[in-house]
Structure 1
C-alpha cells in the first residue's frame, strides 16, 4: 500500500505534468499564456490563455485514462472555477469586444492532450 504522503506527491506531480502538456498543446494551437495556476475565492484556474480577442479559462484534468479525466469536472468544481474567473475578471477587465470561454484539457497517460472548447459555462 502506498503511503498517503507519497500518493499526494505523485498526484501533484501528475497534475503539474498535465498542466505543462496542456500549455504546450494550446500554445501549438496559437494560444498565448496569461497566467497559470491562478487561485482566488476558494477556486483555481489552471491556465488562462488568449488567442485573438478570446480569453480562455482552462481546467486541466490529468488521469491515467482520458475517460476518467472527462468525468472529473463536476458541478462543485465548476462553481469554484467560476468564482476564481470572476475574481480574475475583476482584477483584469477584458476589452468590451472580448470573448470569454471556459475550456477543458484532458490529459491521459501516453496520449496527446484533448482540448474541449467551451466545455462548460462560466457561472
Structure 2
C-alpha cells in the first residue's frame, strides 16, 4: 500500500471518529444515553447505540456533502443489518427488555450543524 493511500485512510478514519463524537454530543444534548460506539455484531456494526426512554436508537453516522447524500449512502441491505444487530443487542440485555428499536441517522456536512433524523428510513 502506498504511503499516500495509508495517510488518506488514517485521515478518513480520524474524520469518521470525530463525526461520531459530534453525533454523540448532539444525542446527549437531546437526552439520549449513549450505550456504545462502533458495536460489532455478527449481524452488522452499529456506529452509536443510544437509549432515550423506551426507544433504542441504532444511529448511523454519515459525513457527506449534503443530507440527501447521507441518506442515500446507507443502502437497504446495510440498514437491515444494522437493525438486526440492534434487535440482537436489545434481546440479549435484560435492561433493554421492551424497548422499541429504531434506526436513526445523523448527517454531518461541512459548514453545517449536524442533523439528527429519527427513524430516517421509516422502518424501511
Report the TM-score range of the alignment, normalised by the length of the smaller protein: 0.7 to 0.9
Are 1:95 and 2:97 an aligned pair?
Answer: yes
Between Structure 1 and Structure 2, how many residues are aligned? Answer: 121
Aligned equivalents of 2:28, 2:109: Cα separation in 1? 18
- State whether residues 91 and 97 of structure 2, in contact with CA within 8 Å, keep that contact through their aligned partners in structure 1: no
| 1:64-79 to 2 correspondences below 5 Å | 64-79=65-80
Cα displacement (A) at 1:63: 2.2
> Which residue does 2:106 correspond to in 1?
105
RMSD over equivalenced CA pairs, Å: 2.1
Cα displacement (A) at 1:121: 5.7
Are 1:14 and 2:15 an aligned pair?
Answer: yes
- Of Structure 1 and Structure 2, the greater helix share is in 2
> Which residue does 1:50 correspond to in 2?
51
SS at match of 2:116: strand
Normalising by structure 1, we get a TM-score of 0.84
Aligned equivalents of 2:87, 2:57: Cα separation in 1? 13
Are 1:119 and 2:120 an aligned pair?
Answer: yes
- State whether residues 63 and 108 of structure 2, in contact with CA within 8 Å, keep that contact through their aligned partners in structure 1: yes
- State whether residues 53 and 99 of structure 1, in contact with CA within 8 Å, keep that contact through their aligned partners in structure 2: yes
- Alignment gaps of 5+ in structure 2: none
Normalising by structure 2, we get a TM-score of 0.84
